[in-house]
Each structure stands twice: as C-alpha cells, then as structure tokens.
Structure 1
Amino acid sequence: MPSIELINAPGLPVPAGHYSHATRAGNLVCVSSQLPVRPDGTHTSDLPFEAQAEQTLQNVRTVLVLEAAGASLQNCIEVTAYLVGVEHWKDFNAIYARHFGDWKPARAVVPVTALHYGYLVEISARAWVE
C-alpha cells in the first residue's frame, strides 16, 4: 500500500470542512469537489453560471497544477460535475471543452437540485501522475 499524501494547494482558501484539497496515493491524485470560491475565500454564488463554472475549473486546475499535486488537467482520468439545473449542461460542456481542449477524460455530469452556499456548480476529479 503506497503512503497517502494530503494536499492543500497554495492559492486556495483552506478547506472549510474536514478534508484536504486533494490526496495522492502513488500515481493517483483525487481532487476533492471544488466550488467556485475565489482564491481570497469570497463567494461567487451571486455570479452567473458561466462565471461560476470558470472559477470552479480554475480551482481544480490550481489544486493540480501549482505543484500541489504535480499534475495538469491533461492528467485527469475522471471528472464529476454537479450542476444545479440540467439547463446549464450545454454551457458547461462548452466551458469544460475550452479548459480541457482535445483531452477527454471519463466524465459524469450530475444534475442536482441545490449545492452548498447557493452555488450552481461543483467539480471533483481524479488524475494520474507519473
């Protein structure tokens, strides 16, 4: 069994609950669900869906890229997105494609009725790092 490293990314607020931004076990990095919280800890729940989706994907990128986990979005092997309202699916898909480019990891998009703090999107990811 590999050792498990707890990762808290510089540039993001300290997690509000009993969790880390990510964990790494060997080559597998699991990113905790990210909400569209700004790096300074302020909320974006008053912003439109598109702005929230951009901030959330940037938060996932920050956990992976800032040498916190030594990965990038192109290391993602699985992504799960929770969207309040299925009507945001098309916009989410376009924003997601812009961030991931040609890379298409396994993905689930789950419509939900509500998220914490009134947010419209939450994203978790798993990445493989050599």
Structure 2
Amino acid sequence: MEILYTDKAPEAIGPYSQAIEAGGLVFLSGQLGIIPDTGALAHSLAAQTVQALENVSCVLKAANLTLKDVVKTTCYLKNMEDFALFNEIYGQYFGDHKPARSCFAVAQLPKDGLVEIEVVAEKKA
C-alpha cells in the first residue's frame, strides 16, 4: 500500500490521506470544491463541481493517472435539485469515458460544501 499526496490539491481536513494505491487500484478520498491556494470553497455549485473535479484530476496526476483511468465515482450533493447542473459539468470532464457512478443527496458535507466527489481508478501495469 502506498499513500499518495500532491500539494496541487487541498490538504486532507482530517486523519486520512488524499489517496491510497493498493492492489492495482487508486482510491481517492472525497474531494470538495476547495481552492487549494486559499483553502476556501468555491462560491457556487458549478464552481465547486469544477474545483472538485480539478482536485480529483490533480490527485490522479500524482499517481500518473487521468480521469480516463477512473472506474467508479461516488458523488455527494447537498441538494438533489442541483443534479442536472452537476451532471452537465461532470459530463464535460469525463466526455465519452463513463465510469460506474453513484450519486446521493446528503444532509451536510464538510465545510458546508455543495458537492463532494470520490473516485477509484485502475493503475495499469
């Protein structure tokens, strides 16, 4: 097992790692729409979704991976009424690559975020 870290994504806000590589898979902890340089959340659902996906991309890059290597995502929204806008932005990032996905509305996210995205990616030999 290897702990992965990049300073291009937000620091973990608790006792966990940004990502762990194990058994040919890379497990990313959930990424909020936190701007790494400031530690603040982006200002809107759209901006937080973009930032969360950028953070995911940066952590994947630390493992020499891209969004094309993602096999599963789990997405958490504060409000399911935001699903259409979230889905539109998510689709722009993943394009024709369509990993398996779950998406849930939750009562509250850390830092009162509006969206959180976690992924599992495959590290090919």
Q: How many residues align?
A: 124
The CA deviation string for residues 41-77 of structure 1, in whole angstroms up to 9 with x for no partner, is 42125x1110010000100001002xx1111000000
> Which residue identity lines up with residue 33 of structure 2 in the other structure?
P
CA contact (8 A) 2:10 2:39 kept: no
Q: Normalization by structure 1: what TM-score?
A: 0.91
- Are 2:112 and 1:118 aligned? yes
Residue in 1 aligned with 2:101? 107
Correspondence for 1:8? 5
Runs of 4+ residues over 4 Å off in structure 1: none
TM-score (norm 2): 0.94
Corresponding residue of 1:54: 50
1:38 corresponds in structure 2 to 35
Q: Which amino acid aligns with 2:16?
A: Y
Amino acid at match of 1:74: K
More off after superposition, 110-119 vs 96-105: 110-119
Question: Contact 1:13/1:41 (CA < 8 Å) preserved in 2?
Answer: no
CA distance in structure 2 between the aligned counterparts of 1:10 and 1:42, rounded to whole angstroms:
12
Partner Cα separation in structure 1 for residue 45 and residue 78 of structure 2: 9
Structure 1: gaps (5+ residues): none
Aligned mates of 2:41, 2:112 — CA distance in 1: 9
**Gaps in structure 2 of 5+ consecutive residues:** none
Tell me the equivalent position of 1:91: 85
